[in-house]
Structure 1
Amino acid sequence: MTVVPVFAEPEELYDLVLDKTKQPGKDYAIVDVRDSDYIGGHIPGSINVPASQMYDKANDLIRDFSHVPKVYFHCALSQVRGPKSARIYSETMNNLGIESDQKVKILRNGFEGWHAKYRKEEGLIEDYDKSVWEYAIIEE
């Protein structure tokens, strides 16, 4: 089965992150592809693989996560780096001939959308540094 990335709404990932019966790396994986903009906070259970390293790291990610049912990619806004990284991962999987029912997803609106929506909720942002977000335009 060909693996094709699709967008996922934040609520889908929210439910997984808060579900204590689900484990990152086993039931789902979150790949945060931000570079220096990774500082300031991230989604619990996510791993950071900068988009600039995706071609070099795709095989490692596939080795580590091809058994995981859902893999979510995101960057700051999930407009360029997140979708491109999800595509590289999917294409590498397909090129390797790996048969999988895995769902490769892109978090709609990326971490900035996640932050705007869930920054006030307990347990939804790890390593949060409010000073990084002081000047961010956030809709209330």
Structure 2
Amino acid sequence: MSSAPTPWHAVYPAPKAIAATLSRQELLQWFRQGKRPGKDFVLVDLRRIDFEGGTIRGSLNLPAQSLYPTIPTIYTLLRASKVAHVVWYCGSSRGRGVRAAGWFADYLDEQGETFLTSLVLEGGIKGWATAGPEYTEWMNEYDAAVWLKSTSA
């Protein structure tokens, strides 16, 4: 009898915080208002091996599996900037996205941080990439074939 492997995130504490969500419509509005990733907000794509089909323009790729131990460093870097929001996402933002946003929100709470916020992108990259051309125009390395496959599966 074989037991299921332990999920990667089980070695870390479950997040206490439930991070606020940011809708794709709100993020699109930020882009249209001229807000820039890396200057006005930070986008973090948490995918590791499923990093295909493109990413939202300006995103950093920080795989969720290596995130938890780096949170203090990420916080220090972001705190030194004028960035007010960190937006986390994965494929659907129901697993890695929610977990990462929660961990970061927990860390912000522990630091007494009131300026920087941790948000999860509702629907993740799948929601963004399949929402139409007004969204995909804001992607780097967009590959429609990948997203057609994922919606027909």
TM-score, normalised relative to structure 2: 0.77
Q: Which residue is 2:146 aligned to?
A: 132
Q: Which of residues 50, 57, 69 in structure 2 aligns to 1:37?
A: 50
Q: Whole-Å Cα distance in 1 between the matches of residues 67 and 128 of structure 2?
A: 22
| RMSD after superposition | 2.0
Gap change, CA 1:19 and 1:27, over 3 Å in 2? same
Selected match of 1:7 from 17, 21, 41: 21
Asked if the contact 1:31–1:49 (Cα under 8 Å) also holds between the matched residues in 2, the reply is yes
Task: Report if aligned partners of 1:54, 1:88 keep a CA contact under 8 Å in 2.
Answer: no
Unmatched tracts of structure 1, length 5 or more = none
8 Å Cα contact 2:45/2:89 also seen in 1? yes
- Cα offset, 1:124, TM superposition: 1.4
Aligned residues: 133
Q: For the Cα contact (< 8 Å) 1:25–1:65, is it kept in 2?
A: no
Counting only pairs closer than 5 Å after superposition, residues 1-140 of structure 1 correspond to structure 2 as 5-20=19-34, 22-66=35-79, 67-95=82-110, 97-118=111-132, 120-121=133-134, 123-137=137-151
Structure 1 runs of 4+ with >4 Å offset: none
Q: Which has the higher contact order (CA 8 A, sep 6+)?
A: 1
Give unpaired runs (5+ residues) of structure 2. Answer: 1-16
Q: For 2:67 and 2:144, how far apart are their aligned partners in 1?
A: 28
Q: Which moved more, 1:100-109 or 1:80-89?
A: 100-109
User: So what's the TM-score if we normalise by structure 1?
Assistant: 0.83
Post-superposition offset of 1:56? 2.2
